[in-house]
Homo-oligomer: A and B are copies of this chain.
Amino acid sequence: MSNVINESGILAISTRLQRLADSLRKDGQQIYKAHGIDFEPKWFPVIYTLYSKDTMSVMEIAAEIGYTHPSTISLLKELEKQKLIRSRKDKQDERKRLLTLSEKGQELVQQMLPVWKRMEKALTALTNTSNNLMAAIAEVEAQMEVKGFFERERGIR
């Protein structure tokens, strides 16, 4: 599979990253299902953020999970439909909408905590090879902060 793409090497890195992300997300979906939990992997960043921080506005959540606010809003809509979160207007600033986990959301998190532990173990086993994937991602993210791909290419003599 993918002989030419492997040969073309690093130029196809974005394709490879995408593919890996996809298959991990799909397996995640299957795992929740296998545990009888009605939860989508894409909801994790929002739910985990609200579990950690209790109450946040739309923009704060978006910044925290690193998504744009429209993407965040559509996730929040789904989560409200699932009754996993609740929202109310901020009395101090009427522009803001404050989000919290609902009772159902908190119960679901409690139910998921042991599954998250198992997933962590499985992912650690999967990715703890001689070049550690999580570490590599963090390192590349740091390199990008210093100087992005675009700037680097421009600087090649």
Q: Which residues of A contact B (CB under 8 A)?
A: 1-5, 7-25, 27-28, 30-31, 34, 41, 44-45, 48-49, 52-53, 63-66, 116, 118-127, 129-137, 139-144, 148-150, 152-156
Contacts and interface: CB of A to CB of B under 8 A. Distances in A.
A10 B150 contact: no
Contacts of A154: 31, 34
Contacts of A153: 27, 31, 118-119, 121-122
Interface of chain A, main secondary structure: helix
Contacts of A45: 4-5, 8, 12, 15
Contacts of A18: 17-18, 21
B10 A14 contact: no
